[in-house]
Structure 1
């Protein structure tokens, strides 16, 4: 394949990055520039870039929708809890107001400390609860094996 020689002027920063890339990849500068030029001049490169961007935007949109849904669930949960709490809690008599405030401050400090410890663990309370209430595969297999063992011993000739 014959090649045409070109003398090009590029910015100093681009030349520096081209040098670094050719050294790092072990390729010639000409081959890197040729690949970049082929990609730029390719008729589908624009379509491929557009498709890749559209795919990323779709993924980001789905993630944003999930975050919005989760946020709405969180807001509704908090609103329901506050309404329930305000409905069932009795007003504190005036004589006990100061003690109630002190107790509230102490409980709030405990809550903040517990929240900090929980966040440092990096786990989600919701995930912990879901994992506690959902059986894992071993529990399913154990039930199946037990059911098979019981049904094999309870055959038609088995004594009652």
Structure 2
């Protein structure tokens, strides 16, 4: 036996009405079913707890993403610092007469580096993948 229904008449914003129509069509249910489900959800006693649970889950995911990002930034900083320290301690400054030739060579090497980096960023593998492979060996 069906529950008794009470007819209500109210106005919706045109955009909201289109969203309601689209949602009902996609779910293959009536607009009344969508509105009833939305109202039941909104007016249920645990509505606030469900919203809190959803937000908590999202915040936890974002926190994990930030932790990973922090790790990658730290790895990048340490890698760069290690490289700079190594480079500065193992390469003496050039005499003035060799500087122009070294700068020309440096420009060529820089362009090759940028092209290589571009290919690496597009195709991979990434440094983190290579590191995990090297550590597992």
Q: Same fold (TM over 0.5)?
A: yes
| Structure with larger RCO (C-alpha < 8 A, sep 6+) | 2
Instruction: Name stretches of at least 5 consecutive residues in structure 1 with no aligned partner.
Output: 136-160
User: Structure 1 residue 134: deviation in Å?
Assistant: 2.8
User: Structure 1 residue 123: deviation in Å?
Assistant: 2.4
Q: How many corresponding residue pairs?
A: 135
Q: Which structure has the larger Rg over C-alpha atoms?
A: 1
User: Structure 1 residue 53: deviation in Å?
Assistant: 0.4
Question: What per-residue deviation string (whole Å, max 9, x for no partner) do you get for residues 45-83 of structure 1?
Answer: 111111110111012012102211220121122012101
User: Structure 1 residue 19: deviation in Å?
Assistant: 1.6
SS of the residue corresponding to residue 4 of structure 2 reads coil
Change (3 A) 1:66 1:120: closer
Change (3 A) 1:57 1:126: closer
Could you tell me which residue of structure 2 aligns to residue 6 of structure 1? 8
CA distance, structure 2, for counterparts of residue 123 and residue 25 of structure 1: 41
Could you tell me which residue of structure 2 aligns to residue 157 of structure 1? none
Give the alignment's Cα RMSD to 1 decimal. 1.6
Find runs of 4+ consecutive structure 1 residues off by over 6 angstroms: none
Could you tell me which residue of structure 1 aligns to residue 102 of structure 2? 100
Deviates more, 1:94-103 or 1:11-20: 11-20
SS of the residue corresponding to residue 8 of structure 1 reads coil
Question: What per-residue deviation string (whole Å, max 9, x for no partner) do you get for residues 86-114 of structure 1?
Answer: 11111111111111111111111111111
Deviates more, 1:41-50 or 1:119-128: 119-128
Deviates more, 1:80-89 or 1:119-128: 119-128
User: Structure 1 residue 30: deviation in Å?
Assistant: 0.9
Q: Which residue, 29, 32, 44 being the options, matches 1:30? A: 32
Instruction: Name stretches of at least 5 consecutive residues in structure 2 with no aligned partner.
Output: none
Could you tell me which residue of structure 1 aligns to residue 80 of structure 2? 78
CA distance, structure 2, for counterparts of residue 125 and residue 50 of structure 1: 37
CA distance, structure 2, for counterparts of residue 32 and residue 8 of structure 1: 15
